[in-house]
Amino acid sequence: MMNTVMKYTGKYGPLILFFPTVFLLWNKKNALMYYVLGFCLNSISNVFLKLLIRQPRPSDDKQKFDLALDKGKRFLFDSGIPYDVFGMPSGHSQSITFTTVFVFMTIPNNAFRLFCVLIALITLWQRVHYNHHTVMQVTVGSMVGGLFAYLMFYMNRKNIAGKIKERTDDNAPI
């Protein structure tokens, strides 16, 4: 029972955190916009990084993988994953760390922060435990997601600070 919970929590971890984060940011429209935009751009950047790095998942046979890339053939490995779904960096790790870091910087709710850390750790563990990714793929995904979250948070803060203007003199005594 516990193994099934861990398996599915890790598999759907990014979505488990996405929806409550959107709910908690609903009244912070600027932060919500940067979170959703960042989540989407982070996912797109993961696809580009995978196509650039082209590293197989740990469950794939390296010789079979290289042969498939050389011949341009599309076939399934023993895991059922098409060969062109690369492993570096881990998309789950990138997404879950993006959300967790963004939450830590924007939502001052310690209970939700703890929930995010718990789901993130389960997801990171699950990706390695079920042989979907190597420790290096998970680590790189986490670093990219965390850096992307900081960039989006920084842009959010810069945008807010740019809108603050001095008031005109209201003839108040000095």
> Bigger pLDDT: 11 or 40?
40
For the cut 60, the answer to whether the pLDDT of residue 84 exceeds it is no
pLDDT of residue 147: 95
Contact by Cβ (8 Å): 142, 94: yes
Any idea where the domains of the chain sit in the sequence? Answer: 2-59+87-159
The per-residue pLDDT for range 90-138, each reduced to its tens digit, is: 889 999 999 999 999 999 999 999 999 999 999 999 888 888 888 999 9
- Distance, C-alpha 111 to centroid of its chain: 20
Are 132 and 59 a contacting pair, CB within 8 Å? yes
> In which band, very low, low, confident or very high, does the pLDDT at 24 lie, cut at 50, 70 and 90?
very high
Question: Does pTM top 0.95 for this prediction?
Answer: no
First to last CA, the chain: 69
Chain segment 37-80, per-residue pLDDT in tens: 999 999 999 988 988 887 877 765 666 666 656 655 555 555 55
| pLDDT of 83 higher than 80 | no
